[in-house]
Structure 1
């Protein structure tokens, strides 16, 4: 909600530096990362690992508190907000790593692709957070402004934090549960491992070391683009043998995959079409691609959200599936309209409607939990 409000047109008339930074990084750093490591991990990791729960639940609560404070301080003091983000996501990452290492009852070779996505994202946090803290300390002492933060956070860091969780959720949502020995399962440990470690290591060396820009861009292609391509080819090979699932979760995941592919293609082909002289307010292919990748990641997170809500709700199966499919279509249409400068008003209406529609499934689950806990009524929610 904060990110959406900061994207409204009336705030762009006289935007402050804090609003600019918040609008640029809030959705990636304060939505995708906490939702994946702090929200999706406690929901799905114990079941995927056949364990009893998370290893460090207190670390998750501490991380949530720190991130909540940092989210409200980000528009006012961007450096302080990002520093608190580093501390909060480190707590979430330690919880995920400890759970995968200590609480699993299956060997590593039997871990599904989503587990490797959780592990790769947590490893990325262990590299990104200390390096970002060091940069904030150095830039603060040097008197650097918010523009320096945007320059540092753009590129491999943002694309890694968006691509790893999104692909993990999309593959888990679109591949059948019983398909354990497919191509994706074989490629996932290596592909997610490279995506989670190599791009952020190159970013750290480029930031503090002497890595040239040409080598940095080439390393990103190998460390981020090539593993994504391998996973997508393996995914297409697995789908050749099985049918694509249906339902609201599959709709969200399919829309997210389409937006991710369109965004990656736009950013990769931008140098071929970019002109030397750009008019103010003109359509920029690279910026549109970045926005499509962001919305694709949010659709992937919504697929996991609807999957969790659908597993909790009972007696609302058909209605919930139809509502989720319509919601996915509204959000997908709003994401496409948002990249065109001429479609600002339809995009705002569609994305605002989508935001309000999220209240229904969340409210249904929370109401069912409240009734079961206060009155002892069973049957409203399916027990996990």
Structure 2
């Protein structure tokens, strides 16, 4: 029975494996583009509104109103799960593509339709429900890919932290999204708007799990990490965070104080988990001799921004929301350069990539300077132009590279030890 299954899997790979891989890559790229457009629309509209340069039209006003929803639902989850999950996860588990590509495609179409309705400002409940359905489809496709690879694996090799991060982040969405969808359906006929910001907890867990998974993958070639403690911390944070968030959602009325206490406990738990993962990362790379190549810079930026955001949140009671958004930006950019360059072995303009990071770092620092919002927005725009330029030049040339890091990408899994 096992032989027949393996043979059918080999036939599937040899017969239409390239088609499946292309479909997975196309959907993953579409997710990344959607996340980038949502970030540009939401962040750009908010910046223009603060600067007083927003056109006084109904369309632009709808985009400004949709800023919280766009930044919370259509940037982090589509990029880290839909994008990297479709582009990178199958390669990490030695598959030709996503196991259920049609389900993954249908998930993207639902998420895209939800984003379009959100931008127009009409039917926000319908848009959010479409996002829930599409996210569930994508998460089921990713989890099926991971579990199927585990079932066919003759030698049970440990998963890398990246695979653990993607798998646990998808599981978090699979458990929490139905709760959010149930709340929407329950209050469907109410005139009150959908409280999307209540979903910030699960999105923060996605940033924590998938983000640190990408950061560990960035450093896999220069450091040695034990996957067991990393996976244990990630799993504990995911399970505890899901339980705490679900409990806080159902606490209403007289239990509002208890909901705030549960939320504070979840925040403290995530902060502790982030600290432990950062310590493990530092321990694994302490004696490594490496240059600050492009992906590693973005990984360091992610840890700095997220750790600083959690610290400010614990001290002042605010700041985590912006830190998670900026952290997601760092990990998405770093993950793209890692996937395009060291994982797939394609050339991209290094100078433009370094300039992209420098502009982003300056813009991030200016965010916390009073009265420097205009300058921060200008540097973010310049960083976006550098990123778009680097992507366009890289894909137009489409040239394989023979750099040292591309040559050793196959040995990345050897950077982990049991």
CA contact (8 A) 1:97 1:122 kept: yes
Match of 2:45 in 1: 6
Instruction: Describe the SS at the equivalent of 1:142.
Output: coil
Structure 2, unpaired ranges of 5+: 1-39, 411-418
Structure 1, unpaired ranges of 5+: 272-285, 370-378
Q: How does 1:1-384 map to 2 (within 5 A)?
A: 1-10=40-49, 19=63, 22-75=66-119, 76=121, 77-104=123-150, 105=153, 110-146=158-194, 148-150=195-197, 152-154=198-200, 156-176=201-221, 179=224, 182-183=225-226, 185-209=227-251, 212-213=258-259, 215-221=261-267, 223-271=269-317, 286-287=318-319, 289-311=320-342, 312=344, 314=346, 316=347, 320-368=349-397
Output the CA distance in 2 between the equivalents of 1:46 and 1:262.
Answer: 32
* Structure 1 residues 178 and 144: alpha-carbon distance in aligned structure 2, compared to 1, 3 A threshold: same
Output the CA distance in 2 between the equivalents of 1:229 and 1:257.
Answer: 9
Instruction: Describe the SS at the equivalent of 1:86.
Output: helix
Post-superposition Cα deviations, 1:220-271, rounded to whole Å, max 9, x if no partner, equal 1464222222212211221223235521111111112111111111111115
Output the CA distance in 2 between the equivalents of 1:345 and 1:118.
Answer: 35
Instruction: Describe the SS at the equivalent of 1:241.
Output: coil
Q: What's the offset of the Cα at 1:106?
A: 6.9
**TM-score, normalised via structure 2 length:** 0.76
Q: What's the offset of the Cα at 1:130?
A: 0.6
Output the CA distance in 2 between the equivalents of 1:81 and 1:334.
Answer: 32
Which stretch of the first structure deviates more once superposed, 88-97 or 337-346? 337-346
The aligned length equals: 351
**TM-score, normalised via structure 1 length:** 0.82
CA contact (8 A) 1:292 1:335 kept: no
Output the CA distance in 1 between the equivalents of 2:154 and 2:337.
Answer: 27
* Structure 1 residues 65 and 177: alpha-carbon distance in aligned structure 2, compared to 1, 3 A threshold: farther
Match of 2:416 in 1: none
Post-superposition Cα deviations, 1:249-308, rounded to whole Å, max 9, x if no partner, equal 11111112111111111111115xxxxxxxxxxxxxx14x42123112211110011112
Output the CA distance in 2 between the equivalents of 1:108 and 1:228.
Answer: 28
Q: What's the offset of the Cα at 1:361?
A: 2.5
